[in-house]
A and B are shown apart, each in its own frame.
Chain A
């Protein structure tokens, strides 16, 4: 529903006076209620273990205390309001959730006890399942592979995990860190093998029972 107008068409005789040859865009920014999803806040509240985010008073303490908020496209305060008002797509496409370093400052400072870091995790999970993240962005790739490894093997093996991450994001970065990897391997800090627990069947059963419990709770 977005309309984009190329400002070039306003320039007389096709010349781009004052625009240095670069076209500037005017974007429609109005939000229709029908573009929003009203159940988004419930999804996130459920994932983040708490409905406290409904009680946000928009004081901005989270944004002010966040060490990386100045790099984010929406500050944490704005994210909470957007979640509450159902701006699903804008939130999931934002860089904010991926820049969150999980330092928990916001959660500690929040006057309404909102677990903002948990909200960020919930949003990351939603973004991943919706496929809303830059394809070669390391954070979601690492997260996805980390969980896949732990769930399958019961163990985390740094070497294969890193290799997978580099291959999926930027393989050249792997070359940059070869020396560091070598030194870590030499001191026994890095394994190149995929490790796993002895009894993978029991692990599957264990994790499966959690899922069952969740399903039962959901009912």
Chain B
């Protein structure tokens, strides 16, 4: 390219480039001939020093760069090593310490992009050479840049009011920061509120959850919006603008005290609609409260079933019954707009739909239940007041619990749902305790990793619960012998003994696994985060950043990130709260100076860029008739830069000459010169 003149000087500065290639132990050196790359780069114009080193990220590695900057008066640095996600920050800091502007540094990824993705040493080395040359040519044109700081709004939005959301909200609120807790359902509590006992200690779920629920309701630092959904999210770390829709309950939340007189007064004397909270095993009226400890303690209408909403011909006895005049059938959705600095997503999970595994006969045989249904059945406030009964109303004499329904199955979900073994043990204990029945567990592997979990398994074995290792083939009502008549027979290979067994039972429990919520993808798009292949929210790093996402200021906790139990969800919620609080405490965050700016003399004022900006960072100056970019809002996505028809928008770190010289460096390996492209660019 002609941007560099014959003696390699650009705009009066002679580049003095230092190149460093990292072995990364064997990670890179085993596949890339680092010495060859080092020698090749040494021969390139502008390169003053070229070295290879075992671990560039180590302190001696960084000191090597710093020493060279001082002694050899280097003004450009290129390091070829791992992904910039891991160590770009490390090297920029090291360069800055040596007195050079950190943006004169450029990083080449020859690990994730080269050595880890091939087994051809020759080609790997060639690619590393090409990438190194591209970086050397690019770094010629790097400029000195300043990072900018943006303030962090101390308010936090938490989406989802299950145990994870509740715990995160309380942690942050107790630290004195304001929390908006948004829950889609009419009450907080999530799945945990449906459980009877919790493993392995068998303490009652409601007893440990409801105090936390009421603390959320009464906390001065928490704004609780139930029956509400996030509609729109804009902005960036520290400065998110969120729109929330509060769905109408047709009951004024501030006035209702939860006396439930209206429910008694409803013209439906009998409850006749399936109760969602009890998994449809009991009935509710069109005006209802999900469960006795619901928080907030406010009733709501179901417009789908209420006569007045359908025909407007109801006597409205409920309104008459309410002496606080809390019922407002004309209520409309309310829209709220809030500004927050950070967001914690704790949107939870969904259980596998057992009907998708027809061999187990869910919905075909009345006495096949899912684990969540059994949780309600064994619960004292459940549909049968805690009595475990078959659909015929008998106490079961034998119960089979089938593990891994929808888990560890390529036809359903490949993953292990982690909690089913333990909750199956808990249900086995509870069923045995309530009924004295013979309980059979059919498992593929018992997975009980956790404090006190293996001991719980041992306890269950000693209680005489049967453990049959084998995946159940089918649940059938086809009796082969008289003993199997009027029963459900489970056919399974007892792989420990080596025989196929037929076991007749009165009741079957399907231990359904955990899967992402149906609208996880919508949430993901709304908050601009990623999902892993199975559809759970993706963490920034599986080990070292388990509650962060690739979007700064958005954290994840609980079942939305993957199958997990209550202790892990709570731990994660605490971690997410700590991450949010650490941003809030810092008060501001440094942003990458990769923002775009307008060359005013070129701008024709066509306004093409304005609607394209996803961050609403571009406005139009009516006085000068030119576009203006607000650098505080610009996230450096580059959309406007590419779209500008007059080429009047430039982006820091991605200027045309930087990119084109980088491409030129790459193409030289294929023997292509960039002359033609240059013509287009000019």
Q: Which residues of A contact B (CB under 8 A)?
A: 29-34, 38, 41, 51, 54-58, 77-78, 81-82, 84-85, 87, 112
Contacts and interface: CB of A to CB of B under 8 A. Distances in A.
19 contacts: A29-B500, A30-B499, A30-B502, A32-B481, A32-B484, A32-B502, A33-B501, A34-B483, A38-B438, A41-B464, A51-B462, A54-B461, A55-B461, A56-B461, A57-B446, A58-B469, A81-B496, A85-B466, A112-B458
Nearest to B504: A33
A38 B468 CA distance: 14
A41 B466 CA distance: 11
B494 interface: yes
Contacts of A33: 483, 501-504
A199 B226 CA distance: 88
A58 B461 CA distance: 12
Which 9 A-B residue pairings sit nearest by Cβ, starting from the closest?
A34-B483, A81-B496, A31-B501, A54-B462, A30-B500, A55-B461, A33-B503, A31-B499, A54-B461
Contact of A85 (B446, B458, B494, B504): B494
Contacts of B504: 33
B437 to A, nearest CB: 12
A2 B497 CA distance: 18
Contacts of A84: 466
Contacts of A77: 496
Given A33-B483, A34-B483, A78 B496 contact: yes
Contacts of B671: none
A87 B438 contact: no
A31 B500 contact: yes
Contacts of A81: 494, 496-497
A55 B503 contact: no
B464 A54 contact: yes
Most chain B beta-carbon contacts within 10 A, residue among A33, A51, A54, A81:
A33
Interface string B475-511: 0000011011000000000101111111110000000
Contacts of A34: 481, 483
Q: Is the interface of A mostly helix, strand, loop or mixed?
A: mixed
A85 B464 contact: no
Contacts of A38: 438
Contacts of B497: 78, 81-82, 85, 87
Contacts of B469: 58
A28 B461 CA distance: 30
Contacts of A30: 499-502
Given A31-B502, A33-B501, 15 more contacts: A30-B499, A30-B500, A30-B501, A30-B502, A31-B494, A31-B500, A31-B501, A32-B483, A33-B502, A54-B462, A78-B496, A81-B494, A82-B497, A84-B466, A85-B468
A55 B494 contact: no
B496 A58 contact: yes
Most chain A beta-carbon contacts within 10 A, residue among B464, B469, B480:
B464
A69 to B, nearest CB: 15
B496 A29 contact: no
A85 B462 CA distance: 13
A63 to B, nearest CB: 11
A85 B497 CA distance: 9
Nearest to B454: A57
A29 B461 contact: no
A119 to B, nearest CB: 15
B438 A29 contact: no
Nearest to A79: B497
Nearest to B499: A31
Contacts of B496: 58, 77-78, 81
Nearest to B501: A31
Nearest to B490: A33
Contacts of A55: 458, 461-462
A34 to B, nearest CB: 4
B670 to A, nearest CB: 59
A28 to B, nearest CB: 10
A58 B468 CA distance: 11
A2 to B, nearest CB: 12
Contacts of B498: 78
A185 B307 CA distance: 105
A85 B442 CA distance: 13
Interface string B505-519: 000000000000000
A81 B497 CA distance: 7
Interface string B54-91: 00000000000000000000000000000000000000
Contacts of B464: 41, 54
B483 to A, nearest CB: 4
Nearest to A56: B461
B207 to A, nearest CB: 30
